């Protein structure tokens, strides 16, 4: 199974727009300006991640998730807990 996933990952990287995450992290310190520029160009409708079922009940299915749902959840929590711009999240929680 791991061998299949590794092969699929290599094939995925051959497609335009896909980047090896570990390679990106290694190069991040040299590409700060590029990363900042990409962040400025992002929209809430850009795909954040792809969820895929295993297909245990038949054919596997995929769904693309954009940034809107997590942003809406974070906004809901912030409003519910009355967060302000000066509040900070405690990473020990």
User: pLDDT digits over 15-72, tens only?
Assistant: 767 777 777 777 777 778 887 888 888 888 888 888 888 877 788 888 888 888 888 8
Task: Decide if 32 contacts 46 (C-beta within 8 A).
Answer: no
**Structure tokens belonging to residue 93:** 């929680």
Q: Which residue has the tokens 């727009």?
A: 17
Sorted by sequence, the CB contacts under 8 Å of residue 67 that are 6+ apart come out as 42, 43, 44, 45, 46, 48
For residue 11, the tally of other CB atoms under 10 A from its CB is 10
Q: Which residue has the higher pLDDT, 71 or 90?
A: 71
Q: How confident is the model at residue 86 (pLDDT cuts 50, 70, 90)?
A: confident
């Amino acid at each position: 199974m791991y061998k299949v996933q590794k092969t699929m990952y290599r094939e995925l990287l051959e497609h335009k727009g896909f980047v090896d995450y570990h390679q990106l992290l290694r190069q991040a310190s040299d590409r700060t300006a590029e990363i900042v520029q990409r962040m400025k160009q992002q929209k809430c409708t850009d795909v954040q991640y792809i969820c895929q079922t295993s297909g245990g009940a038949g054919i596997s299915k995929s769904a693309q998730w954009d940034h809107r749902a997590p942003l809406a959840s974070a906004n809901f929590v912030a409003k519910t807990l009355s967060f302000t711009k000066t509040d900070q999240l405690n990473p020990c929680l």
